[in-house]
Amino acid sequence: MATDKNNLIVYCEYEDGKVADVSLELLTKGRQLADKLGIKLEAVVAGSDLKDVEKQILPYGVDTVYKFDDKRLSPYTSLPHSSILINLFKEKQPRIAFMGATSIGRDLGPRVSSALHSGLTADCTQLEIGDHKDARTGEEYKDLLLQIRPAFGGNIVATIVNPECRPQMATVREGVMKKEVRDSNYSGEVINLKTEDYTKPEDFVVEVIDRNVEKSKVNLKGAPIVVCGGYGMGSKENFDMLYELADVLGGEVGASRAAVDAGWADHDRQIGQTGVTVRPKLYIACGISGQIQHIAGMQESSIIISVNNDPNAPINDIADYVITGNVEDVVPKLIKYYKKNTK
Amino acid sequence: MSYNIIVLAKQVPDTRNVGKDAMKADGTINRAALPAIFNPEDLNALEQALKLKEMYPGTKVTILTMGPARAAEIVREGLYRGADGGIVLSDRAFAGSDTLATSYALSAAVRKIGNFDLVIGGRQAIDGDTAQVGPQIAEKLGIPQVTYAEDIIEVKDGKALIKRRIESGVETVKAPLPLVVTVNGSADACRPRNARNVQKYKYAAVPSEAAADEKVKALIEKRPYLEIGEWNAQTVDADLAQCGLPGSPTKVKQIENVVFTAKDARRVENTDAELEKLIQELIANHTIG
């Protein structure tokens, strides 16, 4: 029987009248897990001019929305949002709490976990419910949140659990989970809470002086074709060839972490666990070896072509087509034959 | 006005260049095969501290690192680049710490150093990528935090003016001291080693290193500034129940070497004819074009 306590709660980011996609994705995953556990799905949203924000949230199968509508809560600053969650969580004792692995969620989550001494796992790529037996004490735990994430630079995948402490907290990047409305008429309760009951005046000491919001010019998530370059591109000049290939194919250029670290591409082009997750129709991996942290961000692409001079590159294992050769040799040919055959 | 700055730095395995010998046959990591480096974003953090030291003469920069005695390498690296001193926090009791237990130990050490204005660290370390330790320390110290910082523009009237780089753009915030700041990789790169500092601090060492080397021991006795602090759980009055494995709410249930379901990949020869055939096929099935 679901009660007001021990539920699954999602912190929803809200700006300019819109709930962030990552929050809606987490609500979708949260609904599935709450069903499995037989508990309620709850959402908390803190900001200003929230109006009827619940209309955006409830359709995801949310049973309760906690609203904090206060001018001082927007734009986001760490302390008041942390205090709200810390005090709300003390009161509602959620079993599980999710937030986006964004610059907000990754600022807020650790602060909340530190105050509540609850475990937090960052950048999860899968979330499941399962049992756990402590190898040392032999103690068994039922229905824990299994938090799965690549670790160690993406060379291994770890399953993390929080056996004793609550809430079990996790952050997930945008695009990793799928967003799906449960029922556009789903009925849930809306509870308006007072910011001053959950925060202290001294929480408002950090001032946002200036905000310069720039829309990212790169739209990797929506691109039907992604041409992605890795460290094997060898140089910035070689990497720049990929823009031409992406351009003729009508796609977007992505980069592996190694290529971003090498300075060949900006951070907003990074694909992988610590970057963007993409699911394009066609993914062309050029000079990418295929670390798990990268594969986590592209493995659901419909068709994967790998161009690599190492015939044993790990990415070849998940590719549909493998071209063994030098990228600087293959990429111009792909451009040439595409142009020739589409005239 | 001068400030006391603590720079949090971590020695990490270089996970960016994991070679084939880095994974053992059983799927675990062969740490010995990976070079240990100064966590990249912690170098960006150090640069911010050194910049403030130039702006505000008299400012003191102390490196704090947690790890085995070997992590003294990180402190020396910081000294070579312009830091004034350092401490290695090292204890078996810290083994197996998750981010929360790590932040507990580090916050205890920060308190022990005391009288600080700024604690600056990298946003995240490349071996875990969690970005959690900075904010967790701030909370344990009960002070504000500014994460994703790209530039600490100035410190004036007890407040720091900081530019942040976040997904949606750039934000400038003003936050009161004392303050925890975590710095992005997009911030200025750290200045290189200074030849004079390298000469000066070449023999800087923690006591456990010095004990094994008579020459270093003698030098440190003559020049006390060469001694790098070596603290343990007791030195920082840490509650052992909050350290290491017992202090870590998260447990690793399982570590896997990932095996992807291999697809039946078609090998395409790197010849003009084969590549053209591939393009034609992709056009024919409407993948492209």
A8-126+161-204 topology per CATH: Rossmann fold (3.40.50)
| Interchain proximity A110–B136, CB inside 8 Å | yes
Tokens of B225: 């500034």
Tokens of B117: 């204005």
Taking the mean position of all CA atoms in its chain, how far away is CA A184? 24
The class (CATH top level) of A225-342 is: alpha beta
Longest dimension (CA), chain B: 79
CB contacts, 8 Å: B254 with chain A? 158-159
Residue of A nearest to B147 (CA): A107
- Kindly list the residues from chain A whose CB atom is less than 8 angstroms away from the CB atom of residue B281: none
Task: Give the contacts of B146 (CB within 8 A, at least 6 positions apart).
Answer: A78, A206, B160, B162, B164, B173, B175, B179, B180, B181, B182
**Residue B228 DSSP class:** P
Chain B residue numbers touching A106 (CB-CB < 8 A):
131-132, 147
Domains along chain B with CATH numbers:
4-242 (3.40.50.620)
Q: Which of B15, B140, B272 sits opposite A155 (nearest CB)?
A: B15
Instruction: Give the phi and the psi of residue A4 in degrees, each rounded to 5.
Output: -80, -10
B66 min Cα distance to partner chain A (Å): 18
DSSP state of A198: H
Residue ranges, comma separated, of all CATH 3.40.50.1220 domains in chain A are 225-342
Tell me the one-letter amino acid at A304. Answer: I
How far is it, in rounded angstroms, from Cα A185 to Cα A162? 35
pLDDT in tens, B160-193: 999 999 987 899 999 999 999 999 998 999 999 9
The CA distance from A43 to the nearest CA of chain B, in Å, is 23
Residues of B in contact with A110 (CB under 8 A): 99, 103, 130-136, 139
In 3D space, the residue among A178, A148, A130 whose CA is nearest the CA of residue A30 turns out to be A178
Is A296:A150 a contact under the CB 8 Å cutoff?
yes
CB pairs under 8 A between A and B: 249
Residue with tokens 């041409």: A227
pLDDT at A151: 80
Distance from CA of B276 to the nearest CA of A (A): 5
Residue B252 to residue A160, Cβ atoms within 8 A: yes
- Stretch (H or E) spanning A150: strand A140-151
Mean pLDDT (chain A, rounded) = 93
Each residue's pLDDT tens digit, B220-266? 999 999 999 999 999 999 999 999 999 999 999 988 876 666 677 88
Distance from CA of B205 to the nearest CA of A (A): 29
Binary contact (A110, B135; C-beta < 8 A): yes
Tell me the backbone φ, ψ of residue A294, rounded to 5 degrees: -80, -50
* A214 with B140: Cβ contact below 8 A: no
Phi and psi dihedrals of A239, rounded to 5?
Answer: -60, -40
Q: φ and ψ at A33, to 5 degrees?
A: -70, -35
What residues does CATH 3.40.50.620 cover in chain A? Answer: 8-126+161-204
For A232-278, the pLDDT digits (tens) are 999 999 999 999 999 999 999 999 999 998 999 988 899 988 788 89
The model's pTM:
0.88
Q: Would you call B207 an interface residue with chain A, using a CB distance cutoff of 8 Å?
A: no
DSSP 8-state code for residue A6: S
Mean pLDDT of B4-28: 77
Contact A120 B161 (CB under 8 A): no
Tell me whether B140 touches chain A (CB under 8 Å).
yes
Residue B224, classed as helix, strand or coil, is: helix
Predicted local confidence at residue A293, as pLDDT: 82
Q: Does B172 touch chain A (CB under 8 A)?
A: yes
Q: B4-8 and B118-122 as β-strands: parallel, antiparallel, unpaired? A: parallel
List, for residues B43-60, the tens digit of each pLDDT value.
Answer: 999 999 999 999 999 999
Closest B-chain CA to A215: B168
DSSP tag of A291: -
Q: Which residues of chain A have a CB within 8 Å of the CB of B252?
A: 158-160
pLDDT of residue B35: 86
To the nearest whole angstrom, how far is the Cα of B149 from the nearest Cα of chain A? 11
pLDDT of residue B258: 63
Residue A59 has pLDDT above 90, yes or no: yes
B21 Cβ contact partners less than 8 Å away, ≥ 6 residues apart: B30, B33
Contact call for A111 and B136, based on CB within 8 A: yes
User: What percentage of chain B reaches a pLDDT higher than 90?
Assistant: 81
**Is B80 a residue whose pLDDT tops 70?**
yes
Confidence of residue A123 (pLDDT cuts 50, 70, 90): very high
Which is higher by pLDDT, B23 or A54? A54
Task: Check CB contact of B282 with chain A, cutoff 8 Å.
Answer: yes
B100 CA to chain A: closest CA distance, Å? 6
Please judge whether B136 and A161 are an interchain contact, meaning their C-beta atoms are less than 8 angstroms apart.
no
Inter-chain contact B275–A330, Cβ cutoff 8 Å? yes
**Residues of A with CB below 8 A from B248's CB?**
119
Residues 78-137 of B with CB under 8 A from A: 98-100, 103, 126-137
Give the closest residue to A88 by CA, choosing from A191, A172, A202, A15. Answer: A191
Question: What is the pLDDT at residue A127?
Answer: 97
Using CB atoms, which residue from A120, A303, A322 is nearest to B268? A322
